[in-house]
Structure 1
Amino acid sequence: MLPMTPKAKQRLLMTIVLLAGLFAILKLTYWVHFHQGKIDIQQQSERQLKELVNFLDGALSRYESIPHVLSTNPMLADVLNDQQNAKKVQELNLYLEEIQHVTEASDIYLIDALGIAIAASNWQQPFSFIGKDYSFRPYYTDAISGNLGRYYAVGTSSDKRGFYFSYPIYQQGGKGILGAIIVKVDIADIEQQSTSIAMAGQYQFLISDPDDIVFISSVDEWRLTSLTPLTQTKQYALNASKRYAERPIGELLIKPQYQEDSLSHGHIYQIRAGKNLAQYMDTHHLMTKAGWRVHILAPMKPLLESMPALMLLSASIYLLLALGLLFSSERRRNLQRMQLAQSLLEQRVEERTQDLQQANDRLKDTQDELIQAAKLTVIGSLSASINHELNQPLAALRSYAQNTQTFLARNMQDKALDNLKIIIELTDRLADIVGQFKSFTRKSQGTDSATDLKGCIKQALTIVQPEIDKQGVELDVLLPEGQYQVWGDKVRLQQVFVNIMSNAIVAMQQSSKRTLSIRVNCADKFCISIQDSGPGVRESQMEKIFEPYFTTSERTGLGLGLSISQRIIESMQGQINVANAEDGGAIFHIILPIYLAEERQSS
């Protein structure tokens, strides 16, 4: 045998390394995908388990209060006290039959203190419960003890699986227990609905009792089987309890052995389903009231079937990477190009980030400009009334000044002084009006502070008062006593009130009766209501009324007043909405949180 050349040894070594790496990557791929798949399946199973448990709780709770309600009917205690009265018993049978049809329960029956059924909704059926002894049932024991009983079992008379609710029947005056009323729910119906849910979720489920006996399942052959070994002692206990009547109980073929005391989730079992063993992940939950343990069994088959393709993909990628090492020079150039592309990308990202920051700054400035434009639009629409409001005091000033000259010429100083006082008052009035409009039109800096709510409303009324007088609007204002504050920008809140009041005045221009009502209610929050007597808001406009550029006014406007008002109120952690009042007209509700200085300091 010829010795191996160095080149052949190098090739052999590379082959061994390549195969070892392939084995490692396949093993790692299998472990990672299987581990992540288990986590995904478990998370999905927990959500499905929660939905199924909620459904089961709802299905059972629907019937839980029925025995208690029935126990209040004096007919039941009357029959228990006079069991030999066939007429009363038959009337009760008919009554229970009617209740059974209404509630869709499986059966309803009355047992006496000895556990003997004396009346039942199935009195006319061949398997009627009347005359049967149910004193061995735990629901009888619970009810006779004065408690609400819950129990599930296979009926000894009907051979149907059911869940039983029982409640005691008390002697009049509550001096003693005469018997119990029992409501049986057909588990088969619940099982059928649960199976439909399981089919939609592509999983199987089973419900076991404290003895690990499966009595509800989406798979027929799993039903009435034991999850744990069926020992002779366990079989004897099951026969003694008569929970499953004459139904035979078998063992479920499950590997590895079911861990009945395990509180952890994610165990994988092989369970016989048909002729084959299938792998399932078990996720379970204990329903304490019902005494049920609900198991979601998620099939592992989809995960396992996806493994070969994924491993083949991993092997292909690995081999391609390994072959790529042979072209190191090309790879080096590719890496250089990738680094250059990455640098360019980072540079572009940085530039784009700066552009976005500048765009955000411009957007904020634009928003402030829109708010200012909306305020100026309101002032523009009120300009005629404002001029009228200013012209009257100015005309009066001129008249009083001329009179004062005359009085001084005639040496009537007392009357001249009176005129001067009136002139000063008119000057103060003009200063108030001009100052209020100057404050309103000033561009707000958006600075939040404690703001007097009633003061804002009154200042807003000062601005729209000329238009109110011009249009002949009757003003109805009701403000609470005391000082109330909100947290926000005073000028912007004032703008909201001016916008809504101005819109209300415009809406009432064609109305014969023009009334503007303003109310402030204080509970856990402030509710400011502004109502007009106009035609109201059409239903088709309700959803659009707060949209930007939407307006129903024929006057020149930006259509931004209500949109900006909504943003201002929301920035103050409040809400604004509109509705049509019952007595006609539109009514705006502004909800604002109450400002408490102590809470603001603590926060």
Structure 2
Amino acid sequence: MTQVSPRHGLRAVLRRRLPALFCTLLLLVAAGGAYIGMSRHAEAQLARDAQLRLSLVADTLNAAIKRIAGIPPLVGATGMVQSLLQHPDDENIRNATNDLLARTARANDLDDLFILDAQGVTQASSNFGETGSFVGKDYSFRPYFQIARKNEQPVVSYYGVGVTTGRPGYFLASRIAFGPGPEDFGVAVAKTEFSRLESSWAEGGEHVLVSDADDVVFLSADPQFRYRPLKHLSHATLDTLNVEQRYARHAPGVVIDLLRDLPEGAIATREVPGTAWQITAVLPRGDRQWQPLAAALAVLLAGLLATLVALTISQQRARRTADQRIKQDLERRVEERAAELVEAMSRLEAEMVERRQSEAELSKARDELIQAGKLASMGQAFAGLAHEINQPLAALKTYLSSTKLLIARGDTDSAAANLGIMDETVERLVQLSGDLKHLSRRSDNRLVEVDLAATAQRVIGLMRFRIRDAGASVRETLDDDVQVVADQAHIEQIILNLLKNAVDVAADATCKDIMVQASLQNGMACLSVGDCGPGVPESARGRLFEPFFTTKGVGKGLGLGLAISYAIARDHGGVLRYERTPAGQTWFHLVLPARPATGQQEQHA
């Protein structure tokens, strides 16, 4: 027997394993190179994309600013405004100027447009008829007035929170000269809010911050960053902000750390043209952080695949004949299996088509049933609508005749007062018809944010005729901001059904009280409708939400309202529950998942 020395055995092992070790090392080096290269490429691409995203956002903001640039000078040049500044005690000129400013603000989609005199007191404003009217307010402390008074700039821009309305906005002011004297001037001021712009950023998932010359963020897609500085503010800067009341009651918050407070990614910054503002955008890295690792794994997999191919070819050479037979047998089996799979797929596709058709027909039938139920409920609920409309129409006719006589007599003040009353009456009719149109519309199966309290109030308002005829009264306990994401028309249908049932019960009950409540409970939005009727018999409660089951008399209902409401609540991930309290009250509770909180919403005046 031949003896093999240990040295020769080691060499044989090395000869067999050295190629595998070399291939492994080569694959690791290639994967490392792919990881490094892809990392650099991904970072460079992320930076370019961040700059492009920032450019688009900045252009949008700049366009919103330029849109109102010419309005204050044009308004200040009108003869009406010049006459008001020369004759500030003439109420006729003031009223005409108020109307001019209101029309101009509506035509140019401005939030406010007002005129200041040389002392900074508002003489006319587009919101003259509103509760928070600017007329008579002193804004001499605002920087845009101070700069315009010194005549340092033809047009002055300023961003701040309105001390009267509490709403932030962009102010653009222009000096109005109407005489040779240094005090013969006024200031035209236009204000526009960027809330819609912020909302579009938030809806698009943008991480955008706009800061002023003092590095205080005043625009942000995320409300938590608003009125927070990008750096520590000096005492002098804080005093200036306080004197200007730039951000009203909002004191500058904690300094923003871009690297810590915002998602990890590329940060791009640039100035907004024509302003002292700076806009910052952060493009999150997101899925791009996996690109280097994916590239490295791809190289490893490609190398392993190549190695496997080489091994396969080597084995095929040694076993070509046997493999050929196996291949032929395998191909035959694959063809048989493929034929079976094709046949099974054909049957499955036919079943899927049939099921989709059935689901579409079922959905259409249910939508038609919901719409029919809504229209039937509305027909019963709004029986007194003609009488409600006839009263203001008769009043309008009376006021119209009176106004004609007043105009003929030259009593324009009384005629104007009559016109104001007529305008309020028309607004009530327009609101009523708008609410009716909104409630009667067909569902478009689109999910939106729905305020349960506001929706309940709208339905109660439209049901007031039926409630009055039943001799009932409604006690509302509606919390603010009870929001859900749902189909608006379907939620209105549920509330209409529940309220209609409560009115029917109250009409025959001794106690005429109807209770409507809306609140948030443990992350769920709950809307409840209650009455003091006898409730549902214990034996019938198990069938309460079944179609065509009703406890009403013959001809008073088909038994579909609660069944439809129950199905709608279930489709929205919620539930409709019945409760009979020991106090003798009957309640129906609609419980739906509440809309996730997105931060405290800003209050608007």
Give me the TM-score of the superposition, normalised by structure 2.
0.45
TM normalised by structure 1 equals 0.45
By relative contact order (CA 8 Å, sep 6+), the higher-ranking structure is 2
**Larger-gyration structure (1/2):** 1
